């Protein structure tokens, strides 16, 4: 080989070496890149795995919490739940069914800060009614959020009732109090006119009576709503309760030209407070008299229905429109304000009836048709007659039998 051949061979060898070096470099570079990518992927998977691990103690808290609560990941899937969470469709391994809850959880996760909102949710089981929920979402990690949902429907309802009660009571008290004040001034101005004084005094007495009745009914209703248990509970005679209620309304019935007729079964007993039940039935009788035409009758019927005693008060008055029947037991609700003013109605009588009957484990029902009258039916658990009453009945029966046999008492 000549000099030129040697140079050519040397050049070819250098090129091959360069190419080989380049290939080795590429292989090493790719390998390093693969190793780096693998390490990065491993770290990312580890970080994500750590992010989806429920912190220690959270499951224990969920097991003891009384509210609906769930741990939700970034995809909206439930990872853990409390015992009552299923009531709102929150089940482990499933996506949160309500969009509002998912949005709240996402907001807390993205902002890395707690988020709260009042939501309206429907129960997932019967009765599938709408509930007011105070929801709060708390971030646990980059991907996990704890959502706690507290049902505040009942609390809000009671609070609204309290506000309405205070507002309505204040409004109702203003009228008689204002009238008393004006009439007192009128009497003072008419001091030299005995006829005017007597007229104003008569109206003053009526307003004072109305104010007294309203105050008494407010106190009775507050007592019924505040007490957890009835004061004096014993077996009481339905006959005695009805007789007491009729007697309390005898004067009103006479003035209105309405006759009270009592029928049905006798000798039945219920368990409860005699005074409260007498007032409840008396309120129904008073209402029936107030809305009955002169010359008509108010009927009181008693019967048994299974293990219950049913006491029905029926009138042939103006009746109650269907749209008012759902609200008739609300405090201060009156279907005919003009008639209520004439009769001195407070709008509390039927509310007192409802709470009194519920306190005794019963219910009150209404049937009414405009122009045909109304029937209010109280249903109470039937009780057995007390031992002394049974003994007294046996004694009277034996005494009557001896009289019938001998013609005279022995």
Tell me the C-alpha distance between 65 and 83, whole Å.
Answer: 8
314: confidence class by pLDDT, cuts 50, 70, 90: very high
The pLDDT of residue 297 is 93
Q: Are 408 and 402 in contact (CB under 8 A)?
A: no
Residue 201, pLDDT above cutoff 80: yes
Q: Are 301 and 288 in contact (CB under 8 A)?
A: no
Which span out of 340-344, 350-354, 395-399 was modeled with the highest average pLDDT?
350-354
Q: Which residue has the higher pLDDT, 87 or 124?
A: 87
Q: Are 262 and 242 in contact (CB under 8 A)?
A: yes
Q: Are 87 and 124 in contact (CB under 8 A)?
A: yes
Domains defined along the chain, listed by start: 59-151 (3.30.450.20), 154-226 (1.10.287.130), 232-410 (3.30.565.10)
**Among 209-223, 252-266, 298-312, whose mean pLDDT is lowest?**
209-223
Residue 40, pLDDT above cutoff 50: no
Q: Which residue has the higher pLDDT, 396 or 373?
A: 373
Residue 381, pLDDT above cutoff 50: yes
Q: Which residue has the higher pLDDT, 14 or 62?
A: 62
Residue 336, pLDDT above cutoff 80: no
**Beta partners for residue 90, in sequence order:** none
Tell me the C-alpha distance between 184 and 211, whole Å.
Answer: 15
Nearest-CA neighbor of 76 among 100, 41, 54? 100
At 50-109, the pLDDT tens digits run 456 788 878 888 888 888 999 999 999 999 999 888 888 899 899 999 999 999 999 999
Please give the backbone phi and psi of residue 138, each rounded to the nearest 5 degrees, phi first.
-125, 120
Residue 296, pLDDT above cutoff 60: yes
| 361 CA to centre of own chain | 17
Q: Which residue has the higher pLDDT, 69 or 33?
A: 69
The pLDDT of residue 227 is 53
HSE-CB for 383 with a 13 A CA cutoff: 20
Residue 49, pLDDT above cutoff 50: no
The pLDDT of residue 4 is 53
The pLDDT of residue 206 is 76
- Please enumerate in sequence order all residues whose Cβ is within 8 A of that of 230, keeping only pairs 6 or more positions apart, or say none: 272, 273, 276, 359, 360
The pLDDT of residue 103 is 93
**Beta partners for residue 308, in sequence order:** 305, 381
The pLDDT of residue 312 is 95
Would you say the C-alpha torsion 119, 124, 125, 128 has a positive or negative sign? positive
The pLDDT of residue 146 is 93
pLDDT (mean) for 26-44:
47
pLDDT (mean) for 194-198:
85
Q: Which residue has the higher pLDDT, 20 or 321?
A: 321
Q: Which residue has the higher pLDDT, 276 or 378?
A: 378
Neighbours of 99 (CB within 10 A): 9
Residue 263, pLDDT above cutoff 90: yes
pLDDT (mean) for 196-203:
84
**Among 46-60, 113-127, 175-189, 225-239, whose mean pLDDT is lowest?**
46-60
**Among 72-76, 220-224, 232-236, 267-271, whose mean pLDDT is lowest?**
220-224
Please give the backbone phi and psi of residue 61, each rounded to the nearest 5 degrees, phi first.
-65, -45
**Longest distance between any two alpha carbons in the chain, whole Å:** 170
| Residue written as token pair 């990312």 | 44
Residue 186, pLDDT above cutoff 80: yes
Tell me the C-alpha distance between 272 and 229, whole Å.
Answer: 10
Q: Which two tokens stand for residue 310?
A: 């049913």
Q: Which residue has the higher pLDDT, 243 or 194?
A: 243
Tell me the C-alpha distance between 289 and 302, whole Å.
Answer: 19
HSE-CB for 113 with a 13 A CA cutoff: 1
**Among 145-154, 167-176, 340-349, 401-410, whose mean pLDDT is lowest?**
401-410
Q: Which two tokens stand for residue 80?
A: 């853990």
User: In whole numbers, what is the pLDDT of the chain averaged over residues?
Assistant: 77
36: confidence class by pLDDT, cuts 50, 70, 90: very low
pLDDT (mean) for 341-369:
77
Q: Are 345 and 339 in contact (CB under 8 A)?
A: yes
Nearest-CA neighbor of 249 among 333, 173, 315, 172? 315
Residue 233, pLDDT above cutoff 50: yes
18: confidence class by pLDDT, cuts 50, 70, 90: low
Q: 133 to each of 62, 239, 342, how far by Cα in Å? A: 18, 48, 44
């Amino acid at each position: 080989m000549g000099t030129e051949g040697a140079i050519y061979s040397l050049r070819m060898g250098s090129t091959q070496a360069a190419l080989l070096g380049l290939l080795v470099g590429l292989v090493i570079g790719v390998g390093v890149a693969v190793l780096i990518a693998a390490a990065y992927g491993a770290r990312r998977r580890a970080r994500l795995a750590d992010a989806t691990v429920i912190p220690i103690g959270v499951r224990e808290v969920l097991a003891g919490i009384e509210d609906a609560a769930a741990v939700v990941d970034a995809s909206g899937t439930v990872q853990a739940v409390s015992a009552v969470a299923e009531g709102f469709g929150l089940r482990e391994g499933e996506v949160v069914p309500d969009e509002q809850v998912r949005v709240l959880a996402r907001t807390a996760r993205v902002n890395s800060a707690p988020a709260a909102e009042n939501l309206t949710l429907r129960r997932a089981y019967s009765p599938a009614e709408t509930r007011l929920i105070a929801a709060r979402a708390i971030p646990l990690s980059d991907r996990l959020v704890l959502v706690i949902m507290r049902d505040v429907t009942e609390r809000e309802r009671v609070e609204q009732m309290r506000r309405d009660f205070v507002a309505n009571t204040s409004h109702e008290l203003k009228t008689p109090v204002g009238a008393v004040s004006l009439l007192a001034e009128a009497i003072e101005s008419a001091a030299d006119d005995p006829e005017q004084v007597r007229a104003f005094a008569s109206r003053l007495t009526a307003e004072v009576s109305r104010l007294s009745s309203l105050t008494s009914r407010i106190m009775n209703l507050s007592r019924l709503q505040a007490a957890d248990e009835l004061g004096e509970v014993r077996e009481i005679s339905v006959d005695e309760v009805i007789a007491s209620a009729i007697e309390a309304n005898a004067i009103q019935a006479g003035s209105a030209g309405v006759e009270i007729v009592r029928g049905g079964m006798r000798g039945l007993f219920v368990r409860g407070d005699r005074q409260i039940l007498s007032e409840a039935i008396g309120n129904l009788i008073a209402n029936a008299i107030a809305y009955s035409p002169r010359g008509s009758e108010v009927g009181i019927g008693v019967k048994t229905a299974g293990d219950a005693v049913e006491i029905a008060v029926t009138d042939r008055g103006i009746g109650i429109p269907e749209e008012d029947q759902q609200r008739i037991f609300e405090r201060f609700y009156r279907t005919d304000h003009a008639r209520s003013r004439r009769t001195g109605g407070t709008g509390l009588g039927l509310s007192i009836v409802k709470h009194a009957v519920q306190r005794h484990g019963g219910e009150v029902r209404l049937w009414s048709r405009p122009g045909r009258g109304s029937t209010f039916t109280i249903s109470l658990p039937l009780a057995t007659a007390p031992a002394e009453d049974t003994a007294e009945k046996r004694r009277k029966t034996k005494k009557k039998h001896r009289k019938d046999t001998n013609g005279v008492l022995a």
